[in-house]
Amino acid sequence: MTLPFAAPEPFPQSPPIPTPAAGTPLQASQAAAPARDYWLCQCAGWAILGGISVMSSGQGAFGTMLPMTVVKLLVMIDGLLLSHCWRLFLRRRGWIDRSDPPVPRILLGLIVLCVAQVGLLVGTDILIRDGAVIADSDATAIVIALCVLWYAVFLMWTLMYAVVLSRRRARRFELEKLQLEVSVKDAELRALQAQVNPHFFFNSMNSIRALIYQDPDTAAQAVGQLAGLMRHSLRAGQAPTVRLADEVAAVNAYLAIERHRFDERLQAEVGIAPGLDDVPIPPMALQTLVENAVKHGVEPAIGACRVRVSAVRDGERVLLTVANQGRLQSASASTRLGLANTVKRLALLFGPRAACTLREDDGWVVAQVVLPQETDWEGSACAR
């Protein structure tokens, strides 16, 4: 529904957006996730290896198989503890985290590790099976084979641990890169907002200056309206987006100030579809388009010039349209800073599915912003 131009209403204040506090249970669970995953993999891996070892023992008398099974299970527990100590040693030395790990030292450490594991195996076998391993006629060959086997096991464990650390480090670097990109975009956004506010303030002061000598009372009223508008602008600079309802209130205030200047030459209509009050938009974006329409449409016009502002929902999009009577000028002395900043802020906030277009349509110059009502926003483009 289209409403006739009216005096501005008081600016509503948007409720603050809650931010997660530090030290929440979610953050604690995220910090504990690597340790939890490590122990799950450790226990699962050594349990599987123990099961394979037990099943490979073959069949025999219960009295013979039970001690052998116990020895193998205790050896797997020893392997779990030794591999954990090896992990602590690697982290303390920083051998795995380096871009050029000391491979010879790591291989030497694996030799010490497999010798310790075989020594624990032989010791456990002596306690439970009366040294059946060393009593065998091929004891030397068996011990050598066990050393080679456990060296391969610990080597595989070390390689898998290094791969996991590398993937985790890559994810951390990617997260830090994304955080840096977000910080850069936030800085760019605030810089653009800082450019928009002085640009708007300069144009508004020009309007008030024209009223001072003609109608001081009206000029005083316009100063009050400008003060309220600047309060909205300052609040808007503290957040990347504002509610559409707040932005429309600012537009009404701006049109009221400009109507003091242009009188009947400015004929404005503002129509906002129901249910769009909470739609997030870039601060001062709609205001910038309206300011552009007044400057390029109303100001050069000899007679009355109509300006229409509308917001409607179109499927999963919200269309913001500002139209003014006139013709689109391909060459203009304007720096077009306001519209260019609107384009950049759309790109930073809403992504490629957002758009800003400017066209001439049957005696009207129409500027339209398309806002996708989704979260995967990455960029857009527009120029005047």
* 217: CATH: 3.30.565.10
Do 195 and 59 share a structural domain? no
Do 206 and 90 share a structural domain? no
- The percentage of residues in the chain with a pLDDT greater than 90, rounded to a whole number, is 17
Do 217 and 331 share a structural domain? yes
In angstroms, how far is CA 1 from the centroid of its own chain?
37
The pLDDT score that the predictor gives to residue 82 is 92
- Does 329 or 314 have the greater pLDDT score? 314
Residue closest to 53 by CA, chosen among 68, 38, 32, 37: 68
Q: How far apart are CA 189 and CA 350, in angstroms?
A: 12
Q: Is residue 357 part of a domain?
A: yes
pLDDT over 70 at 5, yes or no: no
**What letter does residue 310 receive in the DSSP assignment?**
E
Domain of residue 248: give its range. Answer: 188-372
Which residue, of 118, 135, 152, is where some domain finishes? 135
Instruction: Over range 300-310, report the average pLDDT.
Output: 91
Q: Which of 60-64, 259-263, 302-306, 380-384 has the highest mean pLDDT?
A: 302-306
- 8 Å CB contact between 285 and 369: yes
Dihedral-angle region of residue 315 (phi above 0 means left; psi in -120 to 50 means alpha; beta otherwise): left
Q: How far apart are CA 78 and CA 81, in angstroms?
A: 5
Q: Is residue 217 part of a domain?
A: yes
- In this prediction, residue 195 has a pLDDT band, given cuts at 50, 70 and 90, of low
3-class DSSP state of 330: coil
- 8 Å CB contact between 311 and 42: no
Do 197 and 129 share a structural domain? no
What strand order describes the sheet that includes 266-272?
Answer: 3-4, 266-272, 305-314, 317-325, 364-372, 355-361
Give, to the nearest 10 degrees, the angle between helix 244-262 and helix 139-212. 20
Q: Is residue 179 part of a domain?
A: no
Integer angstrom CA distances of residue 352 from 21, 312, 372, 375: 31, 20, 9, 12
Structure tokens at 237: 């600079």
**DSSP β-ladder status, 266-272 and 305-314:** parallel
Do 317 and 224 share a structural domain? yes
Instruction: Over range 206-225, report the average pLDDT.
Output: 80
Q: Is residue 314 part of a domain?
A: yes
- Does 172 or 376 have the greater pLDDT score? 172
Do 205 and 347 share a structural domain? yes
Do 315 and 195 share a structural domain? yes
Instruction: Over range 38-62, report the average pLDDT.
Output: 80
Q: How far apart are CA 287 and CA 8, in angstroms?
A: 14
Structure tokens at 153: 């096991």
Average pLDDT, the chain: 78
Q: What would the pLDDT profile of 137-155 be if each residue is shown by its tens digit?
A: 788 888 899 999 999 999 9
Which residue, of 96, 115, 135, is where some domain finishes? 135
Do 363 and 286 share a structural domain? yes
Q: Is residue 224 part of a domain?
A: yes
Q: Structure pTM? A: 0.49
- Domain count within the chain: 2
Q: How far apart are CA 305 and CA 289, in angstroms?
A: 16
Q: Is residue 341 part of a domain?
A: yes
Which residue, of 113, 135, 157, is where some domain finishes? 135
Question: How many other CB atoms are there within 10 angstroms of residue 350's CB atom?
Answer: 26
Beta strands in the chain (DSSP E): 3-4, 242-243, 266-272, 280-281, 305-314, 317-325, 355-361, 364-372
Do 205 and 345 share a structural domain? yes
- Does 208 or 12 have the greater pLDDT score? 208
Q: Is residue 174 part of a domain?
A: no
Do 337 and 233 share a structural domain? yes
Do 231 and 91 share a structural domain? no
Instruction: Over range 322-346, report the average pLDDT.
Output: 70
- In this prediction, residue 21 has a pLDDT band, given cuts at 50, 70 and 90, of very low
Do 349 and 230 share a structural domain? yes
- 8 Å CB contact between 357 and 319: no
- The percentage of residues in the chain with a pLDDT greater than 70, rounded to a whole number, is 77
Q: Which residue has the tokens 């429309």?
A: 248
Q: How far apart are CA 79 and CA 60, in angstroms?
A: 26
**What letter does residue 381 receive in the DSSP assignment?**
-
- 8 Å CB contact between 90 and 112: no
Instruction: Over range 313-320, report the average pLDDT.
Output: 90
Residue closest to 342 by CA, chosen among 278, 277, 279, 283: 283
- Does 285 or 192 have the greater pLDDT score? 285
3-class DSSP state of 9: coil
Q: Is residue 196 part of a domain?
A: yes
Question: How many other CB atoms are there within 10 angstroms of residue 335's CB atom?
Answer: 9
Q: What would the pLDDT profile of 81-121 be if each residue is shown by its tens digit?
A: 999 999 999 888 888 877 788 889 999 999 999 999 999 88
The pLDDT score that the predictor gives to residue 254 is 84
